[in-house]
């Protein structure tokens, strides 16, 4: 791992890059050949897996021969190892993967494969799988835990609330974090979902899910999930948090409200919550489905102010009747939630939490930055995660 390492890794990287999917195909074919049952650990459609696999490999082959970025690389691989626990990956699978990688690399390098390049490539592959395996082994507790659906109701044609009761002990989880989640309708698919209530000793969980266009997982939750279904959870991620000594601005788009709602409900239990202004946006008034609950929290928690934001002032026929925001006495502004929030006041002294559709998060950040809020005061989950 020094600057003097021969460039074989960069050469291999170039060769892999010339046919990324083909290389991944061949490595996985080899792996499934060694151990046919490993195929069952992966989803039916492997294209995303292959893509992510080559991305990681590309990064390893890029960083390893150089002098910088080793610590980040190790942390990335360790995180991947922890992530893979939920798939049921075992020690021998890591050995087989290293073997498959070395064998396919040998074929790719052809006449350039000699004792020296074999040694370099083998070391790189063993380091990669070794770090992943070591990190997975060092995590305590089970890789997954389960909860049973006890209630599900749809808010409108695209959104549902799902409530669950934990079957197994719930590992440490902070309000505002999101969970790797698997549902029985898609047994090989993991998606990230943000609980909409803080963790509690009773093991109750609540999720607000929108059936995103083309989203198989979210569509199944909205249309097929039913009481009795058992959901499986793996790791918790996310760093959204509120420091008690600084006022807060929250900007939520649609069901992106979930993590901010969990944080607000937790703040409502404390005595020292800082002044907080929540902008809660939707396309239509009737989609501000949680306004009644939020208003309730604001009534008993004077530190909390809520502004509803809608793009249209009237509901289409398929939304009407869901909610009438006027009746809750919450002020409603018209526009895009991030634009309205940025124009509303000077927020430059605030810690800012943003959650919602990826484009909304990106544009809200930009608006607030232009309005004088320093980037380092803004928090949001990775935008491509939902
Ligand atoms: N932790 C997080 O960040 C979470 C994010 N989500 C994501 O939030 C989304 C919620 O979807 P819906 O409820 O249907 O919300 P939606 O698509 O109806 O949008 C709600 C709000 O976002 C604004 N918005 C939408 N697109 C925008 C754009 N391109 N630029 C600026 N503003 C925009 C709208 O004006 C509205 O105020 C999903 O994509 C979901 O994956 C959901 C839960 C947690």
* DSSP line for 168-211: SPPPP--TT-EEEEE-TTSTT--EEE-BSS---TT-EEEEEEE-
283 falls in which pLDDT band (50, 70, 90)? very high
Residue 132 has pLDDT above 80, yes or no: yes
Is there a contact between 162 and 221 (Cβ–Cβ < 8 Å)?
yes
Helix (H) or strand (E) holding 253: strand 248-253
Question: What residue owns the CA closest to ligand 1's atom 37?
Answer: 281
Please state which CATH number belongs to domain 248-379. Answer: 3.40.50.80
The CATH number corresponding to 8-138 among 1.10.10.10, 3.40.50.10800, 1.10.490.10, 3.30.420.40 equals 1.10.490.10
Domain boundaries, the chain: 8-138, 145-237, 248-379
In CATH terms, the superfamily for domain 145-237 is Translation factors (2.40.30.10)
Ligand 1 neighbours by CB, cut-off 6 Å: 178, 194, 210, 212, 253-256, 258-259, 281-283, 309, 311, 336-338, 355-357, 359-360, 363, 381, 386
Q: Which two tokens stand for residue 337?
A: 């939630």
State residue 141's pLDDT score: 87
Question: What residue owns the CA closest to ligand 1's atom 35?
Answer: 336
pLDDT in tens, 285-309: 888 989 989 999 999 999 999 999 9
Cα torsion angle, 47, 53, 54, 55, sign: positive
Distance 285 CA to ligand 1 centre (A): 15
- Indicate which atom in ligand 1 lies nearest the CA of residue 311: 35
Q: Could you tell me the pTM of the whole model?
A: 0.87
- Indicate which atom in ligand 1 lies nearest the CA of residue 354: 3
Distance 386 CA to ligand 1 centre (A): 10
ipTM field: 0.93
């Amino acid at each position: 791992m020094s600057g003097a390492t021969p460039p074989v890794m960069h050469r291999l990287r170039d060769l892999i890059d010339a046919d990324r999917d083909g290389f991944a195909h061949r490595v996985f074919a080899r792996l499934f050949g060694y151990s046919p049952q490993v195929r069952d650990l992966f989803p039916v459609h492997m294209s995303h897996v292959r893509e992510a696999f080559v991305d990681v490999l590309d990064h390893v082959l890029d960083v390893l021969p150089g002098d910088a970025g080793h610590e980040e690389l190790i942390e990335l691989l360790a995180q991947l190892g922890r992530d893979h626990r939920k798939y049921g990956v075992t020690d021998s699978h890591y050995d087989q993967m290293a073997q498959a990688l070395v064998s396919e690399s040998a074929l790719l390098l052809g006449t350039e494969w000699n004792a020296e390049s074999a040694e370099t490539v083998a070391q790189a592959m063993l380091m990669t799988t070794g770090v992943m395996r070591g990190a997975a082994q060092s995590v305590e507790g089970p890789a997954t835990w389960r909860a049973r659906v006890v209630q599900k109701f749809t808010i409108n044609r695209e959104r549902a609330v799902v409530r669950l009761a934990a079957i197994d002990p719930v590992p440490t989880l902070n309000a505002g974090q999101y969970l790797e989640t698997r549902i029985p309708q898609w047994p090989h698919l993991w998606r990230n979902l943000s609980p909409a209530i803080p963790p509690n000793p009773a093991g109750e969980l609540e999720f607000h899910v929108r059936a995103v266009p083309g989203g198989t997982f979210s569509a199944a939750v909205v249309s097929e999930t039913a009481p009795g279904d058992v959901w499986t959870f793996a790791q918790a991620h996310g760093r959204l948090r509120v420091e008690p000594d600084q006022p807060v601005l929250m900007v939520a788009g649609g069901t992106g409200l979930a993590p901010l709602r969990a944080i607000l409900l937790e703040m409502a239990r404390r005595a020292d919550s800082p002044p907080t202004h929540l902008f809660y946006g939707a396309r239509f008034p009737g989609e501000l489905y949680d306004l009644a609950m939020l208003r309730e929290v604001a009534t008993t928690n004077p530190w909390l102010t809520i502004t509803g934001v809608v793009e249209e002032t009237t509901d289409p026929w398929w939304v009407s009747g869901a909610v009438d925001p006027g009746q809750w006495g919450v002020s409603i502004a018209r526009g895009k939630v991030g634009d309205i929030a940025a124009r509303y006041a000077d927020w430059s002294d605030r810690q800012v939490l943003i959650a919602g559709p990826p484009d909304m998060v990106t544009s809200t950040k930009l608006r607030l930055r232009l309005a004088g809020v320093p980037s380092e005061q803004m928090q949001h989950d990775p935008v491509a995660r939902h």
